[in-house]
Structure 1
């Protein structure tokens, strides 16, 4: 066996239906008593804030404040506005509840203040399990990694995903799958990461179609949450490559929605790298239904079965943006199993823009 290194991230995980009710106990274990609660903008964010108010009140605890202001791509101006409100409160920790945007804001505030962070994810983004923070400022997205960015406690409760629409379940779950796929061919891949990645892909490949068939299937939603947790762990311990590079380029520069962009790009990025990773392609095919040993075929069928949009133009990307995105992608070199070839990368982006099926011929 080849030598390898594997870093275990130290988050505490509380998993299970009804686990949100353990929040006050977890806050006390951190030595805290007055959390700042973060949610997203809109009705869902308000409902999440109300839920945590009720949970905390049952244990004679209350939030220092609730901020319903998280938006996608964690814009620095939003973080700075939240930071000013945080400083005006007597908060001694941060609790974020929601999807990746809320988790991102929680991370951004935690790393700036040193406050401990309890995260309650309601989607399958996996961000809660990574020491990575992506932020946008003036149209440019940057990422940084620091162990202190990792949330201190993560509470998984599938009950909180029951209201998540099937369409959002699908794209959020595919986003999680993308983390695991890239980990299999990352420059720092190792046997432990591979096990977690393949199990995560398998669980999500089983759970997402089940949710699509019966949105009330709580067992399937719990399975998807478990798979997303594994994929998030993988993301937090692996170096990402072409897929995430393109998604950061497209999302941060063109303001495209995060999970939708990952959903569209995944099969195309995998097809681009396919000639350089035959062993990994076999492993991916082994955990995808209907693949017949062909990972690209299996992934195309899986995406079509879920009925997700496969065209970036559906989310506002213009045809003239293809060259701009190519230029940005080529200017930011990541480690990738296949060398970055401009014409082929442009064709990959064009296919993702138009909504064509992925093919390993670029």
Structure 2
């Protein structure tokens, strides 16, 4: 069978090493020749940045990056004469750095402390008046990512599991997103394998650094696949819900994912089988094993939510999607129905 596709791999340096974040960050700041660093993040950021000179700090981090926060951070960057952005934290922290880079063109060195994956993508998001807008721009892709599994150890177990499942959503969506191709699909499948193994280890022993390394590695592969493949149905749903109802990012992705996989699986059986193969069974069983929740909370009106989501559904989704389908999917997630049994009903 002949293959034809157009694949883009984003250029980025990755420095991976447990316990090495401070040293790797200092080396990158020196390599880039930065003299006026704007540090974005909280207490952990200050610890990781102990070996570099910081011109200014910004701790104004909030989920879904409100436009007001972005404007304040941009002002700090301008006032301090920043020539490099260093962000240390989860997806919201990386998102704030991206918002600054979007309008200033300043380079970013990202040091993730969760499995969000934003650090490996050129996707940005801003929220204004309860509506989240996302876009793609190479200016927001961090030039370097510094990964250190020890920095994820402070996450409580439930957040570690949810953050890992959020990464797993990048893998699943990448199998049928608008720009899916054999390369990003291969990355997604390997990412899902690593994430499943890592999350199983973390669920048994939250202090298992080998498990956290495996999960961090899987989260990176997942994000690279997602950056190449684009946003599929799952991410479109979760971005709209997050912006409209200010829902917690990782928990929302975790809750919705099994239902999107069940919904699309019948129309994309090969993709569903590849995911099941590396997970060692269906996603609902993995959730039971690692203690993840597929109950969606915080959506007051599923019919309204369905109307908001529908315009953003990718036309390339493996299965046609109606407003009724979306309302049904969200209702099932709210009720916490067994995703596999729901899809067969």
TM-score range, shorter chain: over 0.9
Deviations 1:266-324 (CA, angstroms, capped at 9, x unpaired): 010111112210111111111012x1xxxxxx1001112222232222xx332xx1111
Contact (CA 8 Å) 1:120, 1:154: kept in 2 or not? yes
Give the secondary structure class of the aligned counterpart of 1:54: coil
- Per-residue CA deviations over 1:235-265 (Å, capped at 9, x if unaligned) read 1111222111110111111111111110000
Please say if residues 45 and 87 of structure 2, whose CA atoms lie closer than 8 Å, have aligned partners that are also in contact: no
Query: Of the candidates 292, 312, 330, which is equivalent to residue 310 of structure 2?
Result: 330
Superposed CA offset, 1:206-240 (max 9, x none): 11121111111111110100000000101111122
How far 1:131 moved relative to its partner? 0.5
Counterpart Cα distance in 1 of 2:10 and 2:302: 37
Instruction: Map Cα deviations across residues 159-194 of structure 1 (whole Å, 9 max, x no partner).
Output: 111212111111111111111111112232222112
The CA deviation at 1:354 is: 2.0
Could you tell me how far apart the structure 1 residues matched to 2:214 and 2:313 are?
35
Q: Counterparts of 1:66 and 1:214 in 2: how far apart (Å)? A: 35
Tell me, in whole angstroms, the C-alpha distance in 2 between the residues paired with 1:179 and 1:170. 15
> Residue 49 of structure 1 contacts residue 66 of structure 1 at CA under 8 Å; is this kept in 2?
no
Pairwise CA distance, 1:33:
2.1
Q: Which residue of 2 aligns with 1:4?
A: 5
Matches within 5 A, 1:223-302: 223-289=214-280, 291=281, 298-302=282-286
**More moved, 275-284 vs 16-25:** 16-25
Match for residue 47 of structure 2?
51
State the partner residue of 1:347. Answer: 328
Coordinate RMSD, CA, aligned:
1.3
Preserved contact between residue 131 and residue 243 of structure 2 (Cα < 8 Å): yes
User: After the TM superposition, which residues 94-109 of structure 1 pair with which residues of structure 2 at under 5 Å, given as runs?
Assistant: 94-109=85-100
Unpaired runs of 5+ residues, structure 1, are: 40-44, 57-61, 292-297
Tell me what 1:361 maps to: 344
Deviation, 1:50, is 2.6
Give the gaps of 5 or more residues in structure 2.
none
Matches within 5 A, 1:116-155: 116-155=107-146
CA distance in 1, matches of 2:75, 2:4: 47
Separation in structure 2 between the aligned mates of residue 187 and residue 71 of structure 1, nearest angstrom? 29
TM-score by length of 1: 0.91
Kindly report structure 1 stretches of 4+ aligned residues shifted beyond 4 Å.
none
Give the alignment of 1:182-197 within 5 angstroms.
182-197=173-188
Aligned residues: 340
| Aligned counterparts of 2:230 and 2:102: Cα–Cα separation in 1 | 21
**TM-score scaled to structure 2, two decimals?**
0.95
Distance 2:231 2:312 in 1: 13
Task: Determine the C-alpha separation between the residues in 1 that align with 2:237 and 2:328.
Answer: 13
- Corresponding residue for 1:317? 299
